[in-house]
Structure 1
């Protein structure tokens, strides 16, 4: 079997560089969509339901795009056309999202925001899935750990800048960070415009700088017959047959993929809770804002919201960007060492301990309560926040470590167990293990928050900690074929 050539560091960098922009957009979404929807009128119970569109779009889009990219060979490449198309559509969604109030004549701003969120997520997934497969296509097995670690590094660089951007626009540039009911803060609006630009630019870099292998060469590297696979791809099948083939692949998925699915369920269940409820959790628990100020019915009764509440929500929303940037920064740093640690101690051990660090990070949220304000020097500016808000940076170390591992280790373990002709579709199917736990979390976490925790959002973060702990334990049951 012909061996894939070793890639230089910068070739590996170029293959994954577009991930920086895609994650830049995802970070803006993760840190600010709950804030946007809350300002547009969503209550705490509804937030997780609105967020359901994200995993549902992934569930629908990624297997379709994965299968299509397996069969696509054009003069522009195999995966790259999908990556670029998804980036263009995602950038359009990012421009429209903060402008939901402008479309009030057509439909309710909150409904428009939910629709654009679905459109944005579908577009992100069109880019994301082929990017995963592109790394598998281009990087030889001996460089797979470093390939996915570089990918994780770039993802987290994008996430750091994307998460912190609204804070910078407020505290350095001077844009307003508060919004009246039914509006979106100017700092968030401009952050989305900048994010759309970065997304397109970074994806174009990968599109231009990476040359995919032609079919004959690609299949030769994997010891498969290019002509036979091309003939298989040319066979037209009915929709019914395609569905039967798809569910047949689900039934015959590699054992390693099934075992990783359990780990993925618990880890992504926890992540979804963090993305949806960090803003209300720290607003309530650190800034001391009562849960009633997140209830649209109560807000309608009182009329004008006190300026102190608006200021606290704005400051807490900005600080969510800071702590999200912090965990992404710690993840980026850990990514530098991740491949070496995995090579030395084994992927499973590193993966499990990383998830344990994330669980401890979630549990640590509970340790910090409302406190006196202090001046914090963030190098780019100084800001006054509660002392407890500063302490929240400590749990982000553990969460960052777990995030780096979640982005790299499952794919590094999985890639060695997949047949080359179906890598794309199996990677798409593997996205079920990301989307399904988020859907379950979206359906039940809002109900749990209101019915069990009386809308005290800090307790739903503790539930995330329990879920991440179960993920760490589940890694022990995964079989890594290459390490074995």
Structure 2
């Protein structure tokens, strides 16, 4: 944590010192923003109507990506505990109904939870390594789509893996999707913006990160219940498979994106 904090502080200082912001007048001239346009007030609804197509198409890809990762953060512990560490189950009563759940107090479950922390670290390493490779591809949509497919394969492969060390491969692949998700959507969007209200558009675009997670959290329990036979342990590993399917759908949707330069009408 100390090392991570030091890296973060150094990166912030380096960015602050090295990145020079355009003076407002120069920025307006560069983007062709007139004085009248700068003074004009416009609400968010009108901005969304004038948003470039890339805003919506990249947002669609974002929906499937962040939906998938919400499932990962929610169901990886249970999946690894049951599928790899053979954690025991217990019977519990919830709202008068008997349910079979994993024994979270068992040593197997505790070991699984510890191992998930290691797996998430492996995912982070995979994302850093893949982030170095992404700029080598000139076709941005190709590398975006490929990254999501690799992540999807990583998620789906967890269903078949019963060795804790083989899971390293799965999470390295998931890291590829994570790297692309953090870099490419904002690159594509900012290229499509002409300069006017860019900050507002980027703020609105953050909704494509939050909303999918809210939807996934709301529907997750109901979806898991559909996979669960009566009187059986809920198969949380199925949710990771679904996360993989969602990433692959997102990879297909990447090809709906039309990359443009300064597409949206200035307001």
Q: TM-score range by the shorter chain?
A: 0.7 to 0.9
Measured after TM superposition, the shift of residue 431 of structure 1 is: 1.5
The match for 1:355 is: 148
Is the 2:126–2:176 contact (alpha carbons within 8 Å) kept by the matching residues of 1? Answer: yes
TM-score of the superposed pair, with normalisation by structure 1? 0.47
1:331 alignment partner, SS class: helix
1:117-156 aligned within 5 A:
none
Partner residue of 2:210 out of 412, 422, 435: 435
1:231-270 aligned within 5 A:
231-232=39-40, 245-270=43-68
Measured after TM superposition, the shift of residue 223 of structure 1 is: 3.0
| Inter-partner Cα distance in structure 2 for 1:202 and 1:439 | 33
The match for 1:468 is: 247
The match for 1:201 is: 9
Q: Which has the higher contact order (CA 8 A, sep 6+)?
A: 2
1:44-443 aligned within 5 A:
201=9, 205=13, 208-209=16-17, 210-225=19-34, 227-228=35-36, 230-232=38-40, 245-292=43-90, 309-341=105-137, 343=138, 346-369=139-162, 388-443=163-218
Change (3 A) 1:398 1:317: same
| Inter-partner Cα distance in structure 2 for 1:251 and 1:324 | 39
| Inter-partner Cα distance in structure 2 for 1:476 and 1:246 | 27
- Which whole-Å deviations, capped at 9, do the CAs of 1:260-299 have from their partners, x for residues lacking one? 1221111111011001111121112111114548x696xx
Is the 1:323–1:396 contact (alpha carbons within 8 Å) kept by the matching residues of 2? Answer: yes
The match for 1:188 is: none
| Inter-partner Cα distance in structure 2 for 1:223 and 1:442 | 43
RMSD of the alignment, in Å?
3.0
Is the 1:272–1:438 contact (alpha carbons within 8 Å) kept by the matching residues of 2? Answer: yes
The match for 1:481 is: 260
Is the 1:291–1:456 contact (alpha carbons within 8 Å) kept by the matching residues of 2? Answer: no
Is the 1:361–1:465 contact (alpha carbons within 8 Å) kept by the matching residues of 2? Answer: yes
TM-score of the superposed pair, with normalisation by structure 2? 0.82
In structure 1, stretches of 5+ residues that fail to align are 1-164, 166-193, 236-241, 298-304, 370-387
| Inter-partner Cα distance in structure 2 for 1:327 and 1:335 | 12
The match for 2:265 is: none
Looking at secondary structure, tell me which structure has more helix per residue.
1
Measured after TM superposition, the shift of residue 220 of structure 1 is: 3.0
Measured after TM superposition, the shift of residue 199 of structure 1 is: 8.9
